[in-house]
Amino acid sequence: MFLFFQIVNYDVAKRMRELILRFIILFIVFQPFTSIQAAFNIETSSPLQYAEESLVQSDYQDGNVLLSSASDTLDIRFKAGFGLSNDRRYIRIDLINGAFNSVFPSSGVASDVLYDSTISAGGAIGEEYIIIEVSASPAVGPDTEFTLENNSFLLYDINKPLTVVYSLFDSVTAAVYQQESLYSLQGTFLKFIDSFGTKFTYSFSHNVGFGQDFLRFNPTFRSPSTFALGDATESVASVGKVLLSQLILDDVLLPSTSEQITDFRLLLPSINTDKDIVTISGDFSTARYFLNEDDNCAGASVELAEYSNSRTISISLDELVDFPVFCIAAESNEIAIQRSAYQIDLGIGIESTLLGEVVYDAATIDLPYITDYSGYRQRIILVNHAGYDVRYFTEFTSEQEVIDNYIVNDLAKGVIPAGSTLKLNANDLVTISEGVPTRVSARILVDAKPKDISAAIQILSLGSSLPPQTNVLQVIEY
């Protein structure tokens, strides 16, 4: 009786030690390490997404795409789905639209104290299935998890996903011939997608106006605040930023490593990114324009243009990656800043987009046709309804042959007195040289709200008995 008691206690103690050891191992194994979380779970994981644009010739092997990973990204995890015991059962994993390209250990799935396993069939490089014999003593439940540690696949057709099918069979014959299973599930493991986006800039509008004589920006930055992206002091404006990372849709992976793509240039393997294929267009004639590495325009920079008549500047994608912020420095005390919208085209087939703009803080009156032709008398009428004096300023635009052949006269800028009407003849504003078309276009900028200003243009033909023709002009807020 005593001997029996001792033996029972010995067996119980041994069993308890085994249970404690298993508990410790399970505690360690199922801690939320990143490598375990990265594995693909057939039942719960979303498909891995690879960037189709990143494929290069070295990613192909015998016409198939080779997908690889140095981590556990391509591991396959799954639950048994059915209780396991001393009776041998058979795991079968099938790939649809692909083949294994890994050398698996003799155990097939990762070894564990909860079960014994060994490869029965398949699993060689180039094969589309693997069958693994598995048993457990003591028995384990259907939630028991397995990991097929895998580091490479061959994908047959990038236009179709790679699907994984897991099944559990009660005999090797059933597994080989795929007869009725004890449990089965499948999941879409990975797919290739078009990973290009279209939105890749933050753009801002900055004002210049009468308060700065159009020589400086209206400040948005107020000390001791922090100068941030999109801010402006009187002399420097952070106009826009290129965010190439936004062109990478979703969390796309690189086929050769299965690592997430964070550098947009990896989507352009056939493009030389140090060539000047990027163009920024706009007016570069009245300030200094540069790209900067910092949102506040205070870091290292690449000069684009300074008081240049060129309407287009070219740079490389590499420069744009390192210096993504577009800045304008207003440094002249004589040259008014020209309003302009700045467009950027990456030169890779994506539609150009607004990088930023400079606008005037003023109401505007457009005059498409002004002439000092001797047979006409043309008059511009400006009415100030406000109770304060209002300044105005006129910009001129002409045909090619008239450029440099007209003189802006003194009354092209001035003051409209409070509560009064100002009448200007065309030759008060501009004088056009002989031998060229006697016409220009103009825009009058007014330091007031549109509701406070009225405008009209009147033209009289001196050789005609008809009365003057008068047209009311629209006053809009620029």
Look up the CATH number of the domain holding residue 108. 2.60.40
Out of 171, 193, 215, a domain closes at: 193
Instruction: Tell me the average confidence (pLDDT) per consecutive run of 10 residues in the chain, 478 residues long.
Output: 41 49 42 52 96 96 96 96 96 98 97 97 97 97 97 97 98 96 97 92 95 92 87 97 92 95 94 97 97 97 96 97 98 93 96 95 92 85 95 92 91 95 94 89 93 92 80 86
406 assigned to some structural domain? yes
8 assigned to some structural domain? no
Residues 213 and 356 in one domain: yes
Domain count, the chain: 3
Half-sphere exposure of 89 (CA within 13 A, CB side): 23
pTM passes above 0.95: no
If residue 134 lies in a helix (H) or strand (E), which one and from where to where?
strand 129-135
Look up the CATH number of the domain holding residue 471. 2.60.290.11
- Measured CA to CA in angstroms, residue 209 lies from 212, 255, 261, 446 at distances of 6, 53, 44, 10
Residues 119 and 132 in one domain: yes
3 assigned to some structural domain? no
pLDDT number for residue 25 = 40
21 assigned to some structural domain? no
357 assigned to some structural domain? yes
Residues 95 and 151 in one domain: yes
pLDDT number for residue 24 = 43
Residues 328 and 386 in one domain: no
- DSSP track, 373-439: -TTEEEEEEEEE-SSS-EEEEEEEE--GGGTTSEEE-GGGEEEE-TT-EEEEEHHHHEEEPTTS-SE
126 assigned to some structural domain? yes
Return the sign of the alpha-carbon dihedral for residues 11, 17, 21, 22.
Answer: positive
Residues 342 and 384 in one domain: no
Residues 296 and 227 in one domain: yes
Residues 226 and 352 in one domain: yes
Residue ranges making up the domain that contains 434:
363-477
Residues 184 and 57 in one domain: yes
246 assigned to some structural domain? yes
Out of 193, 225, 240, a domain closes at: 193
Q: What are phi and psi of 401, to 5 degrees?
A: -75, -15
1 assigned to some structural domain? no
Residues 172 and 81 in one domain: yes
Residues 288 and 374 in one domain: no
Token digits for 54?
Answer: 């990143």
